[in-house]
């Protein structure tokens, strides 16, 4: 005789609904109880298909993650953490990547036709958006890692004028970039290249470039456009091929350059590979500093010096805050997190000229 | 007077519905037309909020991607390609990661309560599943990169017996792994370590280990358990820390080992770093070969020799086939793709003893 869900419940000493919750990965069950139930299910060879098949089909509420630069491992980690949280809330995660040529708010508008969509997280992308378009979204949303609002003067002014604020979580990109470049200057580097995003994109690239400029100014070093490389359009901005091309071009133009600051780790890996291929040594000939602090940096050869963003904490705070807004417990806020300069093998003292 | 959608349509010489399609990123619009419309929208400062706000809210059909090992960049690429395809079909992509301790079919059962879910892609994970549970899913599904069915003897037999077949797309993991190990043997390596998944998991790890064994046998080399390292439980299997620990342990146990074959590139990066930290040279002291062919391998130092899976093509074929099944144009099929051994800097001739 086939095992039924009742047999399983009896064997486990729990109710049928608990077995059902275990089978359906319902969040509202003690993990140990679930493990026990699943063990018995496996042992008995019970197949919970009927219970699943005849479940009342419903509609699930969902949260959308809109990601610019979806193949950047920095976002992969954040997506995973957020997806886990959303799942615990019994919501579905809708994933949508946004091309560098698309406006993420326009993309969001196409999603909100879906009436079960209860909130949106914008990961990466531009930091200026049309206020009316944002207001029209009609669901709570939060921007993550698009830059610190206090630093985005124009937007802040606009927000103050209209009284419209939106939730935002990021590190202080200007300050953190400045710290990294100050560190390089402290190591004796005076000709420091930077690999950043195109200036036509109002994104963290601009903020990090601002930090770079401020560090130079504070140290009485000249700012030279020859040392600024904007990544190529047409491919995803934060990619290794872009970093590779950037370092090649910077080396060609600036034979006296002793360091490169890349606004993402992925760009930095590409830059490192180009420097190595040129037969030059890291950090003896050229120091490289990245930004983000992804795990790959610890395993690269050389290990990458980087500005580590608190990725886990940022992802958790962002998604938690979004749910607080969905549940009407919080109003939009601007949150700033701290990053950390992690000095590893890819940077060191400048070669004496 | 505020610009209206009619003004935009007039300016562009198109109908209002075309403007609406452009705004909503509808797939059914010529990209040039869309670019033109969006340009005019930007120039006029038109905010398409009202059109969005009063859109009839509907429910969107969706396809779920269930991913085991979601932070593996190999899957990131596949997810992006599939998401793009799903989006073009005007479906939503539901993303759900599956822990290594979870059964992906059980996870799928919890998703099918959602009545708008029209199909499922299983990425990675186990290659044996309960037939009844699969039948009960009630929507078309496809397995991608879980291993080649022809090679999974037991499952094939079971499928034949019951007449139940399911869609599957993968490379021939046994053959491709065998090719990689044969290459190493041809380079004079006789003591070759392997980093693979735990044997309690019926996954590609087993198939790739089988290929490794067969290559040794065909070449009259002994199989030694000392050279087989199963990745640690408790953290994601396909990670750099796992590869790092693996190479450390293999080097300690086998001072005469001259090569390591890792069943994923991510594991191989960790292994490389451990070898370098041990003060040993790649490939002079130890050759390293990975599996997957992710972009990072081209930029690692040394560049990684690997078994490159046709990731773009596999992702496209899988999602296209799923939609054919959703649209009832195709029945489940088993598809095998070819991989390619890409020889780069991390491998070479064995050191003479």
* pLDDT, tens digit (0-9, with 9 covering 90-100), for A176-193: 999 999 999 999 999 999
pLDDT of residue A218: 97
Contact A87 B94 (CB under 8 A): no
Q: Does A328 touch chain B (CB under 8 A)?
A: no
CATH homologous superfamily of domain B173-308? Answer: Response regulator (3.40.50.2300)
Residue ranges of the alpha helices (H) in B194-326? 204-218, 240-253, 265-277, 296-299, 311-326
CA distance A20 to A290: 48
What would the pLDDT profile of B92-120 be if each residue is shown by its tens digit? 999 998 887 788 888 888 787 777 899 99
Cβ atoms of A344 and A290 within 8 Å: the answer is no
User: Which residue among B57, B92, B103 places its CB closest to the CB of A94?
Assistant: B92
What would the pLDDT profile of A245-292 be if each residue is shown by its tens digit? 999 999 999 999 999 999 999 999 999 999 999 999 999 999 999 999
B293-304 average pLDDT score: 97
Predicted TM-score (pTM) of the model is 0.83
pLDDT of residue B54: 42
Beta bridge partners of B167: B142
Cα–Cα–Cα angle for B82, B118, A106, rounded to 5 degrees: 55
CA distance A307 to A228: 19
The two structure tokens encoding residue A287? 């120091």
Residue B187 or A203, more confident:
B187
pLDDT of residue A112: 78
Cβ atoms of A75 and A67 within 8 Å: the answer is yes
Provide the chain A residues 200-239 that lie in CB contact (below 8 A) with chain B: 239
- Strand residues in B99-207 grouped as ranges (E): 117-123, 141-144, 167-171, 192-196
Question: By C-alpha distance, which of B1, B25, B26, B30 is closest to B14?
Answer: B30
* Residue B9 pLDDT grade (very low, low, confident, very high; cuts 50, 70, 90): confident
Chain B residues whose beta carbon lies within 8 Å of the beta carbon of residue A240: 295-296, 298-299
Residue B116 or B163, more confident:
B116
Answer CATH for A5-53 from 1.10.260.40, 3.30.2350.10, 1.20.1250.20, 3.40.50.1370: 1.10.260.40
CA distance B168 to B141: 9
Residue B180 has pLDDT above 80, yes or no: yes
Residue B90 Cα distances to B28, B53, B112, B329, angstroms: 10, 19, 19, 18
Residue B163 or B180, more confident:
B180
CA distance A323 to A151: 26
Helix (H, G, I), strand (E, B), or coil: what is residue A68? strand
Could you say which DSSP state residue A148 is in?
A: -
CA distance B286 to A318: 44
Cβ atoms of A285 and A256 within 8 Å: the answer is no
Is the alpha carbon torsion for A280, A283, A289, A295 positive or negative?
positive
CA distance B226 to B252: 10
Any residues with CB less than 8 A from the CB of A171 and at least 6 apart, and which?
A: A145, A148, A309, A310, A314, A336, A337, A338, A339
The two structure tokens encoding residue B260? 């390591």
Provide the chain A residues 106-135 that lie in CB contact (below 8 A) with chain B: 106-107, 109-116, 130, 132-133, 135
Q: Does A87 touch chain B (CB under 8 A)?
A: yes
* Residue A2 pLDDT grade (very low, low, confident, very high; cuts 50, 70, 90): low
* Residue B72 pLDDT grade (very low, low, confident, very high; cuts 50, 70, 90): confident
Beta bridge partners of A58: B114
* Residue A157 pLDDT grade (very low, low, confident, very high; cuts 50, 70, 90): low
Contact B109 A62 (CB under 8 A): no
Q: Tell me the pLDDT of chain B averaged across its residues.
A: 87
**CATH 1.10.260.40, chain A: domain bounds:** 5-53
- Half-sphere exposure for B189 (CA within 13 Å, toward CB): 30
A103-122 average pLDDT score: 85
**CATH 3.40.50.2300, chain A: domain bounds:** 62-172+310-337, 173-309
Residue A55 has pLDDT above 60, yes or no: no
Cβ atoms of B171 and B311 within 8 Å: the answer is no
The H or E element that residue A229 is part of is: strand A228-230
CA distance A116 to B81: 25
The two structure tokens encoding residue B177? 């792994």
CA distance B197 to A27: 28
User: Which residue among B47, B133, B269 places its CB closest to the CB of A47?
Assistant: B133
The two structure tokens encoding residue A50? 């009927």
pLDDT of residue A16: 77
Cβ atoms of B20 and B37 within 8 Å: the answer is no
pLDDT of residue A326: 96
Cβ atoms of A234 and A201 within 8 Å: the answer is no
Answer CATH for A173-309 from 3.40.50.2300, 3.20.20.140, 3.40.50.1950, 3.10.450.50: 3.40.50.2300
Pairing of strands A141-144, A167-171: parallel
- A:B CB pairs within 8 Å: 198
Question: By C-alpha distance, which of A320, A273, A275, A277 is closest to A300?
Answer: A273
Class of domain A62-172+310-337: alpha beta
Cβ atoms of A215 and A185 within 8 Å: the answer is yes
Residue B56 has pLDDT above 80, yes or no: no
Could you say which DSSP state residue B96 is in?
A: E
Please give the order of strands across the beta sheet that includes B287-292.
B228-230, B192-196, B259-262, B287-292, B305-308, B340-342
Q: What ipTM was predicted for this assembly? A: 0.81
Q: Does B296 touch chain A (CB under 8 A)?
A: yes
The two structure tokens encoding residue A216? 């130079």
**CATH 3.40.50.2300, chain B: domain bounds:** 62-172+310-337, 173-308
DSSP string, B42-63: HHHT--THHHHHTSPPB---EE
pLDDT of residue A135: 83
């Amino acid at each position: 005789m086939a095992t039924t869900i009742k047999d399983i419940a009896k064997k486990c000493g729990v109710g049928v609904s608990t077995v059902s919750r275990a089978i359906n990965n319902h969040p509202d069950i003690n993990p140990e109880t679930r493990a026990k139930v699943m063990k018995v299910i496996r042992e008995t060879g019970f197949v919970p298909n009927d219970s699943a098949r005849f479940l009342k089909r419903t509609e699930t509420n969902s949260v959308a993650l809109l990601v610019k630069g979806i193949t950047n491992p920095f976002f992969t980690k954040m997506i995973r953490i957020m997806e886990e949280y959303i799942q615990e809330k019994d919501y579905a995660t809708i994933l949508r990547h946004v091309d560098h040529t698309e406006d993420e708010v326009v993309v969001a508008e196409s999603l909100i036709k879906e009436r079960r969509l209860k909130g949106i997280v914008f990961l990466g992308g531009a930091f200026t958006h049309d206020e009316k378009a944002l207001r029209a979204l009609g669901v709570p949303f939060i921007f993550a890692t698009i830059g610190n609002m206090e630093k985005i003067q124009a937007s802040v002014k606009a927000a103050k004028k209209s009284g419209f604020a939106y939730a935002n979580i990021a590190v202080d990109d200007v300050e953190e970039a400045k710290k990294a470049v100050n560190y390089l200057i402290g190591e004796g580097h005076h000709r420091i290249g930077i690999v950043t995003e195109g200036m036509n994109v109002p994104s963290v690239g601009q903020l990090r470039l601002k930090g770079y400029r401020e560090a130079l100014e504070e140290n009485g070093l000249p700012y030279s456009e020859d040392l600024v490389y904007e990544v190529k359009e047409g491919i995803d901005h934060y990619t290794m091929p872009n970093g590779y091309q950037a370092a090649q071009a910077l080396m060609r133009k600036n034979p006296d350059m002793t360091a490169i600051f890349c606004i993402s780790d992925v760009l930095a890996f590409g830059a490192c590979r180009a420097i190595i291929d040129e037969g030059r040594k890291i950090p003896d000939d050229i120091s490289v500093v990245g930004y983000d602090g992804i795990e790959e940096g610890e395993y690269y050869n050389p290990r990458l010096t980087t500005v580590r963003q608190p990725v886990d904490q940022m992802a958790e705070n962002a998604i938690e805050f979004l749910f607080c807004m969905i549940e009407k417990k919080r109003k939009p806020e601007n949150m700033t997190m701290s990053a950390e300069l992690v000095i590893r093998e890819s940077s060191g003292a400048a070669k004496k000229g």
